Structure 1
Amino acid sequence: MAKSRNNLLGVGGQRKKLSRAEQQGANPARNDDRKAAEDKKQELVRKMRERAAAAEAAPAQDAPAES
């Protein structure tokens, strides 16, 4: 028998119960976590760019000059 598309109870998992303040975006702990994650991501991107620049510059220094 085919699955009924009319009864979607329980599909998609459960949602966290949010307080009225959380619904309005006034959750400082969650905002702090997002800020910390964004800072870590920015630091990682900066390190990756530095390594890429160093790797790009290294072969140019090692190559002998042609005359």
Structure 2
Amino acid sequence: MAKSRNNLLGVGGQRKKLSRAEQQGAGSARTADRKVAEDKKQELVRKMRERAEAQTATTAAEPGEQDDASPSAAQS
């Protein structure tokens, strides 16, 4: 906690200083970098989900084929 009332550091966080271009509405390279990083993350998550779905599909198909064969043999 801050020791004096004039020093509010840590109470609500710090606000970053805006450049003149940012104050006038122009975007910064920082926001572009964040967007690129977010896009990369989304692409990685998509790939991981596809791999997980493919893996579960193959593992589910293997035991499913064996399970389907055994009840039909038992019914015969």
Give the TM-score of the pair, scaled to structure 2: 0.59
Per-residue deviation at 1:22? Answer: 1.5
How is 1:27-38 mapped onto 2 (pairs within 5 angstroms)? 27-38=27-38
The amino acid that maps onto 1:17 is: K
Structure 2: gaps spanning 5 or more residues: none
The amino acid that maps onto 1:35 is: K
Give the TM-score of the pair, scaled to structure 1: 0.64
Per mean C-alpha deviation after superposition, the further-off stretch among 48-57 and 16-25 is 16-25
Higher gyration radius (CA): 2
Structure 1 pair 14/60, CA: closer, same or farther in 2 (3 Å)?
closer
Per-residue deviation at 1:55? Answer: 2.1
Task: Give structure 1 regions of 4+ aligned residues with deviation exceeding 4 angstroms.
Answer: none
The amino acid that maps onto 2:29 is: A
Query: Who is 2:49 aligned against?
Result: 49
Structure 1 pair 43/15, CA: closer, same or farther in 2 (3 Å)?
same
How is 1:6-45 mapped onto 2 (pairs within 5 angstroms)? 7-12=5-10, 14-45=14-45
Structure 1 pair 62/18, CA: closer, same or farther in 2 (3 Å)?
same
Per-residue deviation at 1:60? Answer: 2.1
Per-residue deviation at 1:27? Answer: 2.8
Structure 1: gaps spanning 5 or more residues: none
Give deviations 1:35-54, integer Å, cap 9, x for gaps. 21121111111112112211
Q: Percent identity?
A: 62
